[in-house]
Structure formats: C-alpha cells, structure tokens
Amino acid sequence: MSETGIGATVLRREDRRFISGRGNYVDDVNRPGQVYAHFVRSPHAHADVKSIDTTAAAAADGVVAVLTGADVAADGLGGLPVGWGITSQDGSPMIEPPWPIIAQDRVRYVGEAVAVVIAATRNQAKDAAELVAVDYNPLPAIISTQDSIKDGVPQVWDDAKHNICFDWGFGDADATNDAFAKASHVTTVDLVNQRLIPNAIEPRSSVADFDSSTGEMTLWCTSQGPHAVRLLLGAFVLQQPEHKFRVVSPDVGGGFGSKIYPYAEYATCCWAARRLGVPVKWTAERSESFLTDAHGRDHITKAELALDGDGRFLGLRVSTIANMGAYLSAFAPLIPTYLYATLFAGQYTTPAIFAEVKAVFTNTTPVDAYRGAGRPEATFMLERLIDAAAKEVGVDPVDIRRRNFIAPEAFPYQTPVALLYDSGNYGAALDKALELSDYAGFEARRKASEAAGKLRGIGISTPIEATGAAPSAIAGQLGARAGLYESAEIRFNATGNVTVFSGSHSHGQGHATSFAQVVSDKLGVPYENIEIVEGDTGRVQMGMGTFGSRSLSVGGSAIVKASEKIIEKGKKIAAHLLEASVDDIEFSGGNFAVKGTDKSVNIAEVAFTAYVPHNYPHFTGDPEADKNALEPGLDEQAFFDPLNFNFPYGAYVCEVEVDPDTGVTEVARFTAIDDVGNVINPMIVHGQIQGGVVQGIGQALLENGVYDQGSGQLLSGSYMDYTMPRADNVPNIDSDLTITPCPMNPLGVKGCGEMGTIGSPPAVINAIIDALSGYGVRHLDMPATPQRVWSAIREARPAA
C-alpha cells in the first residue's frame, strides 16, 4: 500500500482552506449589484390568505420589489416536483398536492412563504417585510401524526381523505399471518420515532444571477447535488432550459439530507433575478431553517414479532403512520416505504414479513430524508422489538441475535422484503464489538456504578442498511422518476497531471482526498498531481449528487470505470510508442510496459503524446490502417449504474449510567463496529462513523421536533429549544471495523455515512431500559430526557 493510495490514512487536502477561513460557502458568494430577498412567512399552521397589501413595503427604503403568490401564478411558474411515486394497496396512486414556491390562497404550515421582499440590503428587506400586511382567516389545524387519520379532524388537502397520502403494503401478508398463528410467543411494541430537524450548521443560502443578453441563469446554492437542482427547478418550476442554467454548490457546510431538495427559496431567487435583472441573494436565518428545512423521521409504529419456542423469529408484522408534513417533499414518499420496510429482515432469517405504511399529511413542515432516511426508523423498530422479545422469552439479547443471524455461508441471501444481501459475517462483527466493549466486564462496572448510587445498563444493536442507490431499472420499477447512476470524467492534462470531475458532492465527506487516493492508486499518478472537481454543472458533465451514502460505491465506481477507459486508450498509445502489439502492453504503477521486456513508457508521457500527437497513430483515411488509429487527447467519461444496493452492517454496544434521582442519563461508553467493506481512507471512515453515532445519540437522548398541538407553532424552533448534542453531552466513540468486501462494485466498498445514526439510537435506548430493568421499566420513548427517565422510574417504582 502506498502512502497515498487506497487504504492509507491521508490527511485531508481540503482542510487548509477551512482552517484558514478561506472556504467558499454560498453566503460568501457576492455578485456585483446584488440585492437581498427576505421572505414573509405564515404565522398560522392553516389559514386562508384573504389579501396581501404590499403597498407600504414596496414604498420602503431600498425596496426593489415585493412579490407574492399571485405574481408566481401570473408568471406561470410550476410547483416543486416529487421524485418518487408510491402506489397504495388498493392500486390507487398517492395524493400529490401542488406546491407553489409562494403560497396562493391558503397556507398549510407555520413558516410557509406568502411573499418575498427584495431590497438593496438585508436589513432593508427585513424591515420592509414587517410592512407587508397579510389578512389571514385562520383554520383549524391537524398537527398530530397519531390523530391525523381519525374521523372529524381538520383536513390538509380535500382529496386526501383522512389526510392519507398513500396506504402502502409490502411483503407477504398471508405467510406472515400464518407465522403468527403457529408462534409460541408474540412480542408487541408501540414506538414513536420522533420528528428530527437536521440542522447542518451552515444555513441554506442561494444567489441567483441572470444574464438577459444570453439567457443564462447561474445559481449558487447549498445543495448536495447541483445537477438535480438544475433539472428539477429548470424543467418543473422555472422553465429555464437546462443548457442555459448553471448551478454551483461550492463549499457546503453539512447536509445530512436536508440539502438534497430543490427548495422554493432557490427558485424564488432565480425567478426574481430573471424578473428584476439583478442578482438576488438569500440566506436563511436559523429560525427560518428550523421552519423550512425538510424535517426527518416522525413515525408512529406498532410492531409484532412471532417467535418459536427456541427464540427463533417466525414472522414480523409492522404498521406505521409516517408524517409527510403539509406538502410532499421531493423524496418524501420513498423514505417510509422502500428505504424502510425493505430493511425489516435486519441481519436475521425472519422468513415472513409484512408492513403497512400510511403516509399522512399534517399542518407541519414537510418531512423528507434525514441522515439514514427510513433505515434508522427500521432499525430502531427491529432492534427494540428484539430486545423486548429477548426479555419476554428470557433469552440474553446477544444470544437471541446470534440464534437468528443469517449465516456467513448463506450469501447471497434473498430476504422476504425484496433485498438480496450480497455478503456479510454478522457474528464476527458482534464478536468484535463484545470484545472491544469489554462486554464480559460489564457486571463489575455495573456494581461500581451501583456503589456510587447510579444505575448502569448495557444495550446492543446489530444494524444493517442499504446504501449505494441505486440500480436505476429497479428504482424505476419501484416508483423513481429519475436515474440513480453517477458519472465521472478523468481528464489528463498535457503536462501529465489529472483533473477528475465527479457528479458526487462533498459537504464534509472528504472526496477531494479519498477520490484522489482512488485515482492515484488506479492510474499510478502521484496523489498531489490529481485534482477533484465537484459541485458545478458548468464544469462537471452530469451528476446525481451525494445522499444515501452513495458517493464512494457509486461515484467512486464511476471514477474507476473512467480510469479503466484511460488505461485502455493509453495502452494503444503506448503500443504505438513502444512499437508493440496492444495485446502485449501491461499497465502497472503508472507505466505501460511490453510484456517480458524492459521497454516501458509512463502514463504522463502517454498523456503528453496524446495532446502533442506528433508521433501518434493518426487516422489516415485508409480503413485497414485506421483500425488502430486514435483521436488525440486523454480524457474519458464513465457512468456507473450499480448492480445492486450494498449492505453495510455493524454491531453497536452502548453503556449508560442513569442517576435515579434526577433521570439524567450519561452515555458512559459507546462501541461501534462497522463493516463498510474495503476502506479507502480509514481516518475519514472513522470520522463519519463517530459523527453519525453522536447524531444518533442526539436522537436517543436529546433532540425532538415539537409542535404545539393546537396552534401548530414549532416549539423547538431554536438551538435553545432543540437540543443538539454538545461536546459535554457525549463521550469519545470507540469505533473499529471488520472488512467484508462488497462483491457488487469494483472498489469492494459500501457506504459509511449513515451507519452511526442508524445503529446507535436502539443501542442507547436498550441500554437505558436495561439500566431501569430493576424497576420493571419496559419502554421509553425517544428522546430519553431526564424528565422521561425520571417519570418512568417514578411510575414503575412501587409506592413507598
């Protein structure tokens, strides 16, 4: 292994600009003559907009324009599109309501834009927004996920009866019912997977600049995939032709899913820039981010597990209500369906599974993918259910998992919920987790805690997920309205250095480093001579972007394919230079050599020859002689459409210490073993896992998107109320890996970005319930705040 190739811990090259204050985030982008947008947002969760008087605002200092939903309609702009369609069990399509970029006639959640003020400065726009007079007729609102389908509650959309967007079924209902009929034990849990608010620390932002002389629009925006923004906003909303629309996502300060979507504010900036002839900039304030960034999770679930007398799983039946919010965000229908129920087999051999998911509309902010997206919900359900079952049938939580693991020799393994697992050794990961966490020594630590008046508990989860979306044909059959490949271009420059263009997007993942390691390894070019370019539709050929832990397995594989094309062409050029047959040329370590000789030429020299083709196999016009002829240049593009998803898995052990007097829970130790296949840069992989685990601990202990049930006001709408994990809330995370290469892509890699948020919440909750088991506590909802833990103890404790 070279010091900069695949598998090496290479310090990140992108760090220099970030630690020096020279990053280039969207709010750092300024265009000459730019003006600023500020949105007027609904204070009501549900209301008719009777009238909007913009007169005073339009006359205020510095104001350029005040635009409303009526202007959007008059200009014929389209609504925000949905990228995935789901069909209900009765065969009917999902309800897909219109979503204009500024509300027209009715608002359906607090924070929905009703007007935008454009002014010379941020403060002028904000001041004038106060002068926009909106006359609302407030309507009753439905907020609760649980209550949304009840009779007589307010309806968000007339054509969505009982607020149901779709009622989806998946799996084999008959086989599952049969399994329950012959079970010797059935365990049932009722779970809430609470609403989360993603909260990348960089607020969303956009700057749009329209050149009326060429008809070209340039949009800088905080996006995880600028090509998708270009396609969706251009074609569906703005009617801005794709070839005259450049979208740039420069440095982006975290995404976690929330920056995938083509947001209304980005479209509004473009539309206003085109209409007004000046660049328009908008940056969210954090309060706006809380109200308008797509939220995550928000499920209510009943899950039942059928077991035989030996603790083996016979069947799983799950019924979930998933909150979509007031409108359907771009990938919202996908999250509680094919990214959720397809994971219900977990690491286990459960033969019969059936899931029903009702997606519902409520008067809340739209919900979409947030780090893990469906898989954390699936994993929390399954790993909690298994622990509850273990307790009920009197089997150790480790043993019950081992009894039901898919055996290493059973791969490829077809689950009853569509996925074909390609590889795995689940017992090995669990062994390693138990060893690294000193599981055997827990009892002594428990006693030590007890002596100090604390309750100590240990919890396990053995998560699996599906990453690397997606085989486009399969995705299309399941409702995807887009392809899900990734593209790469490798361009040798004449002087031998290399520019790589990738359709992935890095917003913390370190692509500039790890992708360069891949190219250096594959092409034998010095690492420092390779540059990675992402995030600009004006420079990068095509792309789907970064989400679902897909960048390395899909985007990286496209890079490998492009490098293979480079080698193939390079062999022909080398054969000409070395006066040998192409079949006799071997490529290794950056050199093309004639087999069995010491004749060789370096790839940099081949590149130079390709661009200065004096001695070159040129076309002559003679078809026979031209069989080996080549075009100049060494620049190859590849698209990679994966054969299958890939299936990272792991084993997580959490140890908590609970103060029974206060309910305060401290994560004392956390061990995460992950198998993400081959590893390009271990430092980056561990960083992803540690960060993900802490986000998952945040869900388990701290974070909760809470609305007032009557008014629909977001109560957890700031960092004072929405408690993100801080440094003193969490411990160091002990992370380690087992390596089972994925057979489905040329790098043998799987995704690593979401494992932590998927695997950690059930481990934490299982640990707390273990700690409280002496009181007979069997259930706790997330987040397990001190109040909830204390109440659980009080309610379970026998009266004194």
Partner 1 sequence: MTSTVSLTVNGKAVSAEVEPRTLLVQLLREILGLTGTHVGCDTSQCGACVVHVNGTSLKSCTMLAVQAEGADVTTIEGLADGDTLHPMQQAFHENHGLQCGFCTPGMIMSAIDLAKRNPDPSEKEIREWLEGNLCRCTGYHNIVKSIKAGAQAMNA
Q: Which single residue is written with the structure tokens 């204390």?
A: 790
Report in angstroms how near the CB of residue 201 gets to partner 1 at its nearest.
Answer: 4
15 vs 48 by CB, closer to partner 1: 15
359, amino acid identity? A
CA 40 to chain centre: 29
d(CA 523, CA 532): 14
* Residue 330 C-beta: closest distance to partner 1, Å: 22
Q: CB nearer to partner 1: give 21 or 394.
A: 21
Nearer to partner 1, 177 or 287 (CB): 287
Please give the Cα distance from 328 to 716 (Å, whole number). 22
Spatial separation of the C-alpha atoms in residues 190 and 312, rounded to whole Å: 21
110 or 573, CB closer to partner 1? 110
Residues that bind partner 1 (CB under 8 A): 11-12, 14-23, 25, 27-28, 122-123, 199-203, 251-254, 256, 285-287, 507-510, 683-684, 687-688, 690-695, 718-720, 724-728, 730, 732-733, 756
We find the least distance from the C-beta atom of residue 258 to partner 1, in angstroms, to be 10
DSSP-derived letter for residue 503 is S
Minimum CB distance to partner 1, residue 23 (Å): 5
Q: Which is nearer to partner 1, 1 or 720 (CB)?
A: 720
Residues 6+ away with beta carbon under 8 Å from 628: 572, 575, 576, 582, 617
We find the least distance from the C-beta atom of residue 229 to partner 1, in angstroms, to be 18
Helix axes 511-523, 557-577, angle to 10 degrees: 30
- Nearest distance from C-beta of residue 502 to partner 1, angstroms: 17
- Contact predicate 219/227, CB 8 Å: no
CB of 733 to partner 1, least distance (A): 5
CB burial readout 204-213, b (16+ within 10 A) else e: bbbbbbbeee
Closest CA to 717 of 287, 296, 326, 347: 287
Nearest approach in angstroms of CB 699 to partner 1 is 13
Instruction: Give φ, ψ of 308 to 5 degrees.
Output: -90, -175
**Nearest distance from C-beta of residue 685 to partner 1, angstroms:** 11
We find the least distance from the C-beta atom of residue 299 to partner 1, in angstroms, to be 22
Alpha-carbon Rg for the chain in angstroms? 28
Residue by residue, DSSP assigns 317-366 as: EEEEEEEEESS--TTGGGTTTTTTGGGTTTTB---EEEEEEEEEE-SS--
Question: Which tokens in the block code for residue 210?
Answer: 């329209």
Shortest Å distance, C-beta 666 to partner 1: 12
Minimum CB distance to partner 1 smaller for 543 or for 691: 691
Could you tell me which residues are beta bridge partners of residue 164?
360
Considering the complex, what minimum distance in angstroms separates the CB of residue 428 from partner 1?
24
Task: For the CB of residue 374, give the shortest distance to partner 1 in the complex, in Å.
Answer: 20
Residue with smaller CB distance to partner 1, 224 or 415: 224
- Reported in sequence order, the residue ranges of 143-279 that DSSP labels E, i.e. its strands, are 164-171, 185-196, 205-211, 216-221, 245-248
Pick between residue 251 and residue 635 the one whose CB is nearest to partner 1: 251
Tell me which H or E stretch contains 133.
Answer: strand 133-138
User: Which residues 6+ apart lie within 8 Å of 79 measured at CB?
Assistant: 98, 99, 100, 101, 236, 237
Which CB sits closer to partner 1, 28 or 641? 28
In the complex, least distance from residue 21 CB atom to partner 1, rounded to whole angstroms: 2
In the complex with partner 1, the residue whose CB is nearer, 593 or 763, is: 763
User: Least distance (Å) from partner 1 to the CB of residue 557?
Assistant: 23
Question: Residue 200 or 398: which CB sits closer to partner 1?
Answer: 200
C-beta of 202 vs 465, nearer to partner 1? 202
- The Cα–Cα gap between 190 and 297 comes to 16
How wide is the angle at C-alpha 605 spanned by C-alphas 603 and 611, nearest 5°?
A: 105
Element (H, E) at 460: strand 455-461
Strand order in the sheet with 585-588: 585-588, 591-594, 600-602
In the complex with partner 1, which residue's Cβ is closer, 745 or 757? 757
Phi, psi of 732, deg, nearest 5:
-65, 150
Looking at the Cβ atoms of 231 and 532, the one nearer to partner 1 is: 532
Task: Give Dmax (Cα) for the chain.
Answer: 101
Residue-wise DSSP of 559-608: HHHHHHHHHHHHHHHHHHHTT--GGGEEEETTEEEETTSS-EEEHHHHHH
Residue placing its CB nearer to partner 1 in the complex, 150 or 726: 726
Alpha-carbon distance values, 235 to 78, 159, 420, 452, 790 (Å): 9, 26, 35, 64, 53
